[in-house]
Structure 1
């Protein structure tokens, strides 16, 4: 079941990752491609408002690129707590949007220059993400990505992961989570309260006790039948 889930994710990511070089590479020659970033921004927030950070699973071209191409070469060590700090996340939002705003202010009226400003930001942040991904973990950038943080804030209560009583803290979920989250820690609460969950379902497929589900009602029914 886990292999099938991972295969399905890779197939979807194989379609979306091309959006990254489309903008970050071709955008230097065709600056208007930079405005595609705005579509990604709107898409990520729109999805977050209803399904949490599901956009970051496979719909985000950069996230897909990190999983497909950076993960095989990554050291895959534990992500430092610093990268999940609210202060760092707020700082990154302020930094990135200030840089975009400043460049747009200087280039206002020049559509090509405004598009190139977005391409420039995407290229620089992607290079940073690749370096962090190789040195630490492929999804480090996803924890400090401004749009990911905004999605994180919008995700409360949106399609939460249920953690049933069948959980025995075997850590299987934590070992496969692409965001290095630990669903088993929320067994007593019954619902994982970490909004950085990208709803990929990998942990659900990996759980040997079938204790995890994004369908709370179905999980409860299963537990009742077991009782």
Structure 2
């Protein structure tokens, strides 16, 4: 009788879990959409150009503060910002419903580092020429704290929107997150440093022994990762994972779960 009662409870428990995970993805998509709608206000706080201008003046500007915060938060949250709060990510996930096809990965994921390294080196060089950072001015280049406070800013805004929108029509969903995002390397490095320091992190935990190979996780992944191929370590450690939890929320066997803790490698790779 006890066993029968336990089996009778399982469908109800599974239904509650599915409802909860469905709500999580709806909340995540809503947060991304709101972030994108606020992009005309916040865009200059992510500007790679203002950082260089600030460095030449010896000033820590708003976008540098944001990049430093992304690096610091990634020690614990890895790339969760990309999955939950990024305005450009929100734009791309809205677009993904129309595009549908997965992104082409491979060597393309390295392009952003080819862009990032000389850009970061130029920031360091400009700061050295200026004699170091001597002031902190979060609103430098952002009068009144609002990015698009004059018509001239519209060209920049629509240029960035086009940069993160048009190539995905040909390269697949969230392709520009993989290829050109200048913010991603800050979080990738922060996440790797946090794991090396054995800091508890937000991550996708895995029980590969329960995987049935249905492929639903890979179809749900907004970053087009081959999730079943990444399960062998007991956690999704790939640098392109954005901790969105979409794979875990679609898994029919609870093989995957979004959790907080140390990403310890399991014995025997299981």
1:140 maps to which residue?
175
Unaligned runs of 5+ residues in structure 2 are 1-17, 45-49, 55-60, 130-136, 148-152, 196-200, 262-270
> Deviations along 1:102-160, whole A, 9 cap, x unmatched?
9998xxxxx9xx627x9787764543221222222231121231221221122133323
Map residues 210-225 of structure 1 onto 2, 5 A cutoff. 210-215=254-259
Rg larger in structure: 2
Matched, 1:206 2:225: no
Q: What's the TM-score once normalised by structure 2's chain length?
A: 0.62
Name the one with the larger helix percent. Answer: 1
> Match of 1:92?
115
Deviation at 1:52, TM superposition (A): 0.6
Mapped pair 1:149 → 2:174: no
SS of the residue 1:213 aligns to: strand
Pair 1:188-2:232 in alignment? yes
Measured after TM superposition, the shift of residue 9 of structure 1 is: 1.5
Whole-Å Cα distance in 2 between the matches of residues 122 and 154 of structure 1?
A: 28
Task: Show CA shifts across 1:2-24 (max 9, x none).
Answer: 54333221221232112322245
Aligned to 1:17: 36
Shift of 1:197: 1.2
TM-score, length-scaled by structure 1: 0.72
Distance across 2 between alignment mates of 1:53 and 1:8 = 17
1:224 matched residue in structure 2:
none
* Pairwise CA RMSD: 3.9
Deviation per CA, 1:49-104, whole angstroms, max 9, x where unpaired? 11110011121122112212x2233252432423212xx23211035446778999
Query: Unpaired segments of 5 or more residues in structure 1?
Result: 26-30, 106-110, 218-227
Q: Is residue 56–residue 63 contact of structure 1 (8 Å, CA) maintained in 2? A: yes
